[in-house]
Chain A
Amino acid sequence: MKVKTLMGVFPIIFITAVVFASVGLVTWTDSVTATKIEEQKEQEIQSMLKEMFPSMSEYTFEDDIYTIYSGGTGVGYAFLAVGKGYGGDIDILIGLEDEMTIKGITIISQSETPGLGSRIAESSFASKFAGLNIGDVALKQDGGEIDGITGATISSGAVVDAVRTAAMEKVKSLRERE
């Protein structure tokens, strides 16, 4: 009688043991890799900021805005934005020289159509934003200063919209700080 019950229960014991073993292995792997993943993220942000602000020596992060310093002087601000592209989210890093001028943008990730919308990631598109007044950030057809990419109006527009909206929002919160 006792042996029979054990036989019936054994499968459950077995699978529970397997689950425990697997949870253990996975948790251990996570603890080992988690710190590395965090480090990666921080390093990535740092190198992108440095590329945008070559004179950067350090930066601070508060309320979703990076303040960039060179030596002891502030040289600009940066923040992330997400555009709603054709193929999904477009992650953008936006740099400001001051509260009125764009320093530049970097497309961090996008999944637009290869050969068409994906060209927003090319430097020729990003450079169109550099030095622009925030108010001028719009497609030429909408009264702004930016030429959209031929055949990729949606992708171009998504970036333009995201940059303008985020810039205006962040400038507002910067002004509220003062």
Chain B
Amino acid sequence: MGRFGKELVKGIVISNPLFVLALGFCPALAVSTSVDNALGMSVGVAFVLLGSNLIVSAIRKAVPNIVRIPVFIVIIATFVTVVNLVFHAYVPSLYESLGIYLPLIVVNCIILGRAEAFASKNPVTSSIADALGVSIGFLLALLIISFLRELLGTGSLSLFGVDLFTLPVLGENPMTLFILPPGAFLVMALLLALFRRMGVMKSE
């Protein structure tokens, strides 16, 4: 599997941003109202993470220590701006749904965290693997949360505008709580507790 694979898997399981590192909640919880939004956000995060990890790793030997953090921030902000513009132009409905949470990727602790903790100290290929792994981990976590919220909160599931299925009873009387903000907290609380109970993560 090699080094690349190892970093990849690490990002998904051991360093899973949402469930293990507990980073990057803000945009995650906000966009988890539908699976479509979750997918869109994950793609955005993946692009920014890949771009920033790549560049930070590439210039890691040349960056003077004093300006390290500002340089990382500028790099991340650049990629976020690019994603923002591209989404606005080519997937406008997704852009509208994500709202301010798309530009907020720039302060998502995950991105700066990986740049600082990993990309600035590791070669380019490992950094790319790390970015991919963490992105996939983020995507999976977000999918689980949004799947639950959309299904329980609206009684149906739709993907890319296509209605996939509607649950019998829940379809007419969905548990609206789940689609409201407090519902996100509820789902996260239950999932975290579940993962800890299952031994996937350690309790405090």
Q: Which residues of A contact B (CB under 8 A)?
A: 10-12, 14-15, 18-19, 22, 25-26, 29-30, 32-34, 36-37, 40, 44, 109, 113-115
Contacts and interface: CB of A to CB of B under 8 A. Distances in A.
A11 B64 contact: yes
B82 A26 contact: yes
A115 B33 CA distance: 13
B52 to A, nearest CB: 11
B90 to A, nearest CB: 7
A22 B92 contact: no
3 residue pairs, one from A and one from B, having the closest CB atoms: A33-B89, A22-B78, A11-B64
Interface string B37-74: 00000000000000000000000001110110011001
A86 B74 CA distance: 37
A98 B86 CA distance: 40
Interface residues of B, number: 27
B74 A15 contact: yes
A114 B89 contact: no
A115 B180 CA distance: 10
Contact of A11 (B67, B77, B174, B179): B67
- Grouping DSSP codes into helix (H, G, I), strand (E, B) and loop, the A interface class, with mixed when no group exceeds half, is helix
Interface of B: 33, 62-64, 66-67, 70-71, 74-75, 77-78, 81-82, 85-86, 88-90, 92, 96, 153-154, 174, 176, 179-180
Nearest to B178: A114
Contacts of A109: 96
24 contacts: A11-B66, A12-B67, A14-B62, A14-B63, A18-B71, A18-B74, A18-B75, A22-B74, A26-B78, A26-B81, A26-B82, A26-B85, A29-B81, A29-B85, A30-B85, A33-B85, A33-B90, A34-B89, A36-B90, A113-B180, A114-B153, A114-B154, A114-B179, A115-B176
Given A14-B62, A14-B63, A109-B96, A114 B85 contact: no
A19 B174 CA distance: 49
A22 B154 CA distance: 42
Nearest to B179: A114
Nearest to B88: A37
